């Protein structure tokens, strides 16, 4: 399956140690030029990634300043190791990002036409709600499964009905906006490393991994 992971990137060493097939890596950064915000988009394809990994002196392409994106992709890969990944990095070392980058990432995902977009993240901004709604709906209408992790307060796109919202089973009786619209709770026994990362971010990754296992296995 072809999977877009929108997160904090991926660690190059871990990606190659586990033989992940990273088809593209994109960084979307919100910089500031005076009073005007601007997006910087840097994209690398498979041949650039391989050159950076194999040849001394060539720029290393893959990176993850936080580790969250690496964790998410590792979980998916540990469940089904034959996926192709398109990694889109929009989060910094504090696991923070900008909605403008999120929107650009979703646009990029739609052009890739993956089978699944994994979003172990979300936005709490009402200002960007309509744009996120329309982009994720466009993706779903094109046959792309959009998977998002739940939150205890309204977050987007997890709150939307057309998005598959995932949480860990331990949150089943927790009151909260996203938890009221959860489509699937992942049991602890489904986690590759039980007891260590049993949160909603990893639950979404487990669901994506099991979907790819079902379709590919």
Least confident window among 24-38, 103-117, 120-134, 199-213 = 24-38
What is the 3-state secondary structure of the chain?
CEEEEEECCCCHHHHHHCCCEEEEEEEEEEEEECCEEEEEEEEEEHHHHHHHHHCCCCCCCCCCCCCHHHHHHHHHHHHCCCCEEEEEECCCCCCCCCHHHHHHHHHHHHHHCCCEEEECCCECCCCCHHHHHHHHHHHHHCCCEEEEECCCCCCECCCCCCCEEEEEHHHCCCCCCHHHHCCEEECHHHCCCCCCCCCHHHHHHHHHHHHHHHHHC
Does the pLDDT value for residue 183 go beyond 70?
Answer: yes
Does the pLDDT value for residue 35 go beyond 50?
Answer: no
Higher pLDDT, 177 or 136: 136
pLDDT band at 34 (very low <50, low <70, confident <90, very high): very low
Average pLDDT over residues 100-104: 95
For residue 198, give its domain range.
Answer: 2-216
Average pLDDT over residues 165-172: 78
Structure confidence at residue 173 (pLDDT): 63
Average pLDDT over residues 78-85: 96
Structure confidence at residue 94 (pLDDT): 93
Does the pLDDT value for residue 87 go beyond 70?
Answer: yes
Does the pLDDT value for residue 57 go beyond 70?
Answer: no
Higher pLDDT, 12 or 151: 12
Give me the CATH number covering residue 125.
3.40.50.200
Mean of pLDDT over the chain: 86
Does the pLDDT value for residue 122 go beyond 60?
Answer: yes
Q: Domain total for the chain?
A: 1
The model scores a pTM over 0.85: yes
Structure confidence at residue 153 (pLDDT): 74
pLDDT band at 60 (very low <50, low <70, confident <90, very high): confident
């Amino acid at each position: 399956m072809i999977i877009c992971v929108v997160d904090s990137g991926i660690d190059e060493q871990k990606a190659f140690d586990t033989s992940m097939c990273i088809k593209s890596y994109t960084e979307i950064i919100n910089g500031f030029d005076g009073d005007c915000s601007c997006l910087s988009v840097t994209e690398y394809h498979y041949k650039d990634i391989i050159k950076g990994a194999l040849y001394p002196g060539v720029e290393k392409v893959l990176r993850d300043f936080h580790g969250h994106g690496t964790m998410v992709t590792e979980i998916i890969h540990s469940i089904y190791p034959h996926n192709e990944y398109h990694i889109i990095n929009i989060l910094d070392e504090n696991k923070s990002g900008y909605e403008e980058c999120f929107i650009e990432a979703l646009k990029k995902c739609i052009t890739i036409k993956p089978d699944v977009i994994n979003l172990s993240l979300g936005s709490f901004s009402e200002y960007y709600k309509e744009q996120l709604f329309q982009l994720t709906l466009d993706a779903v209408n094109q046959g792309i499964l959009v998977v998002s992790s739940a939150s205890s307060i309204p977050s987007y796109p997890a709150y939307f009905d057309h998005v598959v919202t995932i949480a860990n089973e331990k949150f089943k009786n927790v009151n909260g906006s996203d938890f009221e619209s959860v489509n699937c709770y992942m049991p602890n026994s489904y986690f590759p490393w039980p007891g260590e990362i049993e949160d909603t971010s990893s639950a979404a990754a487990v669901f994506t991994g099991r979907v790819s296992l079902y379709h590919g296995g």
